Amino acid sequence: MPTVSLRNEWPEALADPSGRRQAKPRTKGRTMILDKGVGLHAFEDLLDLSGEYIDIVKLGFGTSPLYPLPVIRGKIDRAVRRGITIVPGGTLLEAAVRLDVVPGFFRQALELGFTGIEVSDGTIQLDRNLRSELIGEAKSLGLQVFTEYGKKLFGSRIDIDDFAATVQQDLACGADLVIVEARESGKGIGLFDERGDCRDEDLARIRSAVPNLGRLLWEAPLKDQQVALIRALGPDVHLGNIPMQDVIALESMRRGLRSDTFSLQRVPHIDYMI
């Protein structure tokens, strides 16, 4: 019987026409997906298909305590084995702050094997001192820290000066990335208006006010938002709250393999002899 080749032998240039994408572990162009509660088999299928293009998995909101123990351990183990950072949602830490059980939150996060956490105040008020303490505590425990800026209330906007100051302080405390809130809807929150369109003027002001743009991760669950940010900030922009089914579609945009970002391709100059 003839043997079947398992190699993917497309021309090398077609894999990344942009010529820019880093291999994992990436420091540029990280992709964070939002897992709202799929089963273990579906999660494993996702990693088999697109794990190479996923850098961070966030178990959304406060869902982590609701998982059967074997399932959440299985998800964490599978992510870690593929070099993917996995974090519980920021809402869970906000609940731990409100209920005064922060030590228990950290203890269980470490026991389960989470490799990062999100420090946010989208629902509660978190004073600067406590925010700094939470970042410092997580870093001392060996966790990656992703802080988040913005409220989850529909209609909330970014205060550019406050945002710039928060980014500077969070990074000084040890945060790895600062996330710009957009929720899973991507509409009427932060950088995006009620239709989900990017507020270009706000983005321009942020680019002027924040010197560490490479340390920002933009929640952008909708395709047009991803296109807008890639066009404005380049394919190495960090993007989050990506729906699980859209990982490969996003990666194709980062590489110039979709019409929306076709101009990212680096086309070699060819001299034709006549």
Span 24-259: which CATH code? 3.20.20.70
Q: What is the pTM of this model?
A: 0.93
The three-state secondary structure class of 2 is: coil
Q: Which two tokens stand for residue 205?
A: 């002001």
CA distance 139 to 77: 21
- Give tens-digit pLDDT for 117-169: 999 999 999 999 999 999 999 999 999 999 999 998 898 999 999 999 999 99
CA distance 115 to 80: 8
pLDDT confidence of residue 7: 67
CA distance 94 to 102: 9
- Write down the residue that tokens 């001392």 correspond to: 140
Q: How far is CA 112 from CA 42, 73, 80, 106, 229, in A?
A: 20, 6, 12, 10, 34
Q: What angle do CA 54, 212, 26 make, to 5 degrees?
A: 25
Q: Which of 3-12, 55-64, 244-253 has the lowest mean pLDDT?
A: 3-12
pLDDT confidence of residue 270: 52
- What lies within 8 Å, CB to CB, of 201 at 6+ separation is none
Look at residue 2 and tell me whether its pLDDT is greater than 60: no
Beta bridge partners of 227: none
Packing angle of the helix pair 223-233, 247-254 (nearest 10 deg): 30
Confidence of residue 272 (pLDDT cuts 50, 70, 90): very low
Look at residue 1 and tell me whether its pLDDT is greater than 60: no
Look at residue 269 and tell me whether its pLDDT is greater than 70: no
- Among the residues of 64-159, which ranges form H helices? 69-81, 90-98, 102-112, 128-140
pLDDT confidence of residue 6: 64
Residues across the chain: 274
Q: What Rg, from alpha-carbon coordinates, does the chain have?
A: 20
Confidence of residue 18 (pLDDT cuts 50, 70, 90): very high
DSSP state of 123: S
Confidence of residue 107 (pLDDT cuts 50, 70, 90): very high
Residue 86 belongs to what H/E stretch?
strand 85-88
Q: Which two tokens stand for residue 33?
A: 């997906």
CA distance 72 to 78: 10
Give yes or no for a contact between 102 and 131, defined as CB atoms under 8 angstroms apart.
Answer: no
